[in-house]
Amino acid sequence: MSGQEPGSETKVITQRGLYFEELELDVIYAHRPGRTMTEADNVLFTTLTMNTQALHLDAAWSAGQPFGQRLVNSMLTLSTMVGQSVTQLTQGTIVAQLGMGDIAFPHPVFHGDTLYTETIVTGKRLSASRPGQGIATMVHTGRNQDDVVVATASRSVLMWLRPGARPTTD
């Protein structure tokens, strides 16, 4: 590479999520940038997942419904909310997603809304059956551009411990 001394090595920093030990309880991980939800996103996701709900696809019909317009598919909102957390928390450090729960959509998302997600790690423990791994519980909160909560969900994930970490034994 230009500008380097012969024989010198360039330090390489690879983007990753946090290892199990690095996750801090009860702090807010704010995932940025936000994601503006477009009509194209909504129609593509809705049709890819074979969800023919008119509230997502039929503008004329939706105009006569309580919100007066199409809604962004709630599963797209959920997927995006979890996805926004990946680079900061689990990129390359997750073994598996174990489950999700307490999912709620208290306010609709419309085309043109921007979703911002925050995550709080509410619990963590070493895996009893998988040495070198731990289980973390996370609560995700999605808000729109007006700071209105549009979605919440909790999930449990199996995470790697830092390489070379000694798993504790009971």
pLDDT digits (tens, 9 = 90+) for 60-88: 999 999 999 999 999 999 999 999 999 99
pLDDT at 91 over 80: yes
- The number of domains in the chain is 1
What count of other Cβ atoms lies within 10 Å of the Cβ of residue 105?
A: 18
For residue 29, tell me if it sits in a domain.
Answer: yes
For residue 7, tell me if it sits in a domain.
Answer: no
For residue 50, tell me if it sits in a domain.
Answer: yes
pLDDT of residue 8: 73
For residue 82, tell me if it sits in a domain.
Answer: yes
pLDDT-based confidence at residue 170 (cuts at 50, 70, 90): very low
Among 35, 56, 55, 36, CA closest to 45 = 56
For residue 119, tell me if it sits in a domain.
Answer: yes
pLDDT of residue 163: 85
Amino acid, res. 160 = W
Report residue 158 as tokens: 């199996």
For residue 16, tell me if it sits in a domain.
Answer: no
For residue 88, tell me if it sits in a domain.
Answer: yes
**Containing structural domain, residue 83:** 22-160
- CATH code of 133's domain: 3.10.129.10
Cβ contacts of 163 within 8 Å, gap of 6 or more: none
pLDDT of residue 15: 84
> Rounded to 5 degrees, what are φ and ψ at 37?
-90, 115
Cβ contacts of 61 within 8 Å, gap of 6 or more: 54
Separation between Cα atoms, residue 114 and residue 36, nearest integer Å: 4
Containing 39, the helix (H) or strand (E) segment is: helix 39-48
pTM of the model: 0.87
For residue 17, tell me if it sits in a domain.
Answer: no
Cβ contacts of 17 within 8 Å, gap of 6 or more: 86, 87, 88, 89, 90, 91, 92, 93, 94
